[in-house]
Amino acid sequence: MKKIQWVINRMFVSGVLLTVMLFIVPPTFGVSDGDKVSFYEYFYGAPLKWLNVTSITDERSSFTGTFFMGNEGISINWFNLLGSFLIIFVIVSIVIFLVKKYYSKERGKI
């Protein structure tokens, strides 16, 4: 039961960090020409850029501005989303392991 709780806690933290990264990490910007109008693409979601938002305006605004106001389309690259989640999960697990190891050494010295 303790292992299941361990995995669930790290999955929750990884999911929260994956969502927060949309707002913190600036997008990668790309231009794609259409027949009559140019489309501007914004790639969000660190580390593997899993969310693509297409807009006809060239405003390098935040995620909320691009996502909720005036976009022409949104697509999710599910493979990159899963990869980003796994990378964040591994990093969170390593950080928690190192913190626990550090604090167990500190308590042993006292």
Q: How confident is the model at residue 94 (pLDDT cuts 50, 70, 90)?
A: very high
Give the number of domains in the chain: 1
pTM greater than the 0.85 cutoff: no
Cα 36 to Cα 46: distance, rounded to the nearest angstrom: 32
pLDDT reported for residue 45: 86
pLDDT for position 85 = 94
Per residue in 9-59, pLDDT (tens digit) is 999 999 999 989 888 888 887 777 666 667 788 888 888 888 888 877 766
Percentage of residues of the chain with pLDDT beyond 90: 33
Domain that residue 50 falls in: 2-109
Give the separation between CA 35 and CA 39, rounded to whole angstroms.
10
**The pair of three-digit structure tokens given for residue 14, joined into one six-digit string:** 């990884």
CA atoms of 108 and 84, how far apart (whole Å)? 36
Contact 66, 27 (CB under 8 A): yes
